[in-house]
Chain A
Amino acid sequence: MVTSNVSYTKKMMAHFANPHNMGRLDNPDGVGKAGNPVCGDVMHLHIKVKNNKITDIKFQTLGCASAIATSSMVTDLAKGKTIDEALRITNARVASELGGLPPIKMHCSVLAEQALHSAIEDYRKRHPHSPAKPAAKKGSAKPKEKK
């Protein structure tokens, strides 16, 4: 069987056991998707935006424990933030808020960042009159390879 010596932090395991903001929103202002079934992790994020602020956010994730925990954490971090603030949430931040992730699981935090960015992008597409994008940032919004 496939085995690994992955050790998770207590905080990560707490988010996995009791994830925050799980589910979906009726009439979301933006929907973000990241990952794919081939890799084994699929993350969906729904956001509600009011006055340029993320007022509500929910996730649905099919994936391993850390994919579920990073989904939960990124929703916690993004909730109540302005769009600009949310765009500054990096995968490293998601991981460090969980007390760190094993190197092999860092891609789960990348998925969380991608899903959030994808949801915001979708929101902007649907709401073209929302405030303009800030200057492009250094790469973190770019989709990354899983590994």
Chain B
Amino acid sequence: MRKIYMDYAATTPVRKEVLKAMMPYFMTEFGNASSLHSIGQSAAEAVEFARSTVASAIGANPEEIIFTSGGTEADNLAIRGIAKANRDMGDHIITSAIEHPAVRNTCADLAKEGFKITFLSVDKDGLIDPVQVRKAITTKTVLITIMHANNEIGTVQPTREIGRIAKENGVLFHTDAVQTFGKLPIDVDGLNVDMLTMSAHKIGGPKGVGALYVRKGTQLKAMQTGGPHEGNRRAGTENVAGIVGFAKAAELSVKEMGSESARLSKLRDRLIKGVLSGVKEAQLNGHPTKRLPNNANFSFLGAEGEAIILKLDALGIEASTGSACSSHDLAPSHVLLALGHSPLEAHGSLRITLGKETAPKDVECVIRVIPKVIKELRAISPDIKEMKNVKWADYKDDHDHDHMHGEEED
């Protein structure tokens, strides 16, 4: 059976060119970038070259890039690093209700240490209103952290406007750009961001490496103690091969961004149109136009997400869901809930994310298969007529509605 991978927002295969670039740094050029001898210096040069590549991909200076173990660490470093460095200035952080758990749970953790967190709500398409950001700012606000684009529903936020508001009010602004880096043009000055999170494995790089951009002059407290690596901001021997691979993936993604983004947007629009016209009682989640070029997210009434995923998987199609039944705490995705979805809508979600290897015939195949799968599951389901109007509060006792503990991982 031919496999069709459609979960590129979760991760991507490492690109050939990336693997090739990494290979020497495992055995031949294995040096520690902190060592003074030749092989160490050769590793240090590779890391510095990679730093310039990543920096130039976002219009930054090399010394403003801190390599990390990935997006989650970069988010932690940005949020905790700013919160702790500016504790005397204030204790208020503004974020959104639809952040990735790396941001969401980090903010929640800081709340336990006495920080006040404002979780801004989004509209039905998942958009943040910049006016609400402005209103939320107080004299105690030390950080605004709002993602560039959402990993589940693909909505791209008005990051530049939010950044402008942050700047005007003298508040630092961090954005998690894991889903947009290498896919949408990013210029840290244009976006008015002070910090920006990136990850390698979403763009054909290896897992376990990412970076945080930190604008020059920004006070940031390191999160782990150790050596003076990464300008004293991230202790630990550099993952040289990973960093080299990350830079190669960034270079290729930026080079191909224009054509690839146009190609994927076309496939995405075809997919959305095909699925919505092929399945009754289906809806698109996320903004119709302000969305990632590779993301489509649907809700199907009367079919449950995990069952959809497993039916598709049996047919060789790999996708993902925000359904409760696939999470450890049985709560549906906080993102779908933030959109104001009913239980039926939130439980029947399907995310399809496209990438480098996605061909038009793959999209056509998915468009053919999804209606069959949904039909099969709806045939098993009781009549959903009465269930459509059920609200979350209707079965409050059965359902702990605290969504702070979602086990969500991409």
Residues of A at the B interface (CB closer than 8 Å) are: 1-4, 6, 13, 16-17, 19, 22, 36-42, 44, 60-68, 104, 107, 145-147
Contacts and interface: CB of A to CB of B under 8 A. Distances in A.
A64 B330 CA distance: 11
A44 to B, nearest CB: 4
B409 A3 contact: yes
B390 interface: yes
A11 to B, nearest CB: 14
Question: What are the 7 tightest A-B residue pairs by CB atom distance, in nearest-first order?
Answer: A64-B325, A2-B327, A62-B381, A38-B395, A40-B347, A64-B306, A60-B382
Interface in B287-309: 302-307
Contacts of A6: 326
A3 B408 CA distance: 6
A64 B323 contact: yes
A64 B333 contact: no
A65 B306 contact: yes
A13 B230 CA distance: 49
A40 B10 CA distance: 24
A41 to B, nearest CB: 7
Nearest to A72: B380
Contact of A17 (B305, B314, B382, B398): B314
B62 to A, nearest CB: 33
Contacts of B400: 147
B304 A40 contact: yes
B173 to A, nearest CB: 26
Contacts of A146: 330, 398-399
A44 B382 contact: yes
B204 interface: no
Contacts of B343: 37-38, 40
B184 interface: no
Contacts of B387: 37, 42, 62
A38 B306 CA distance: 15
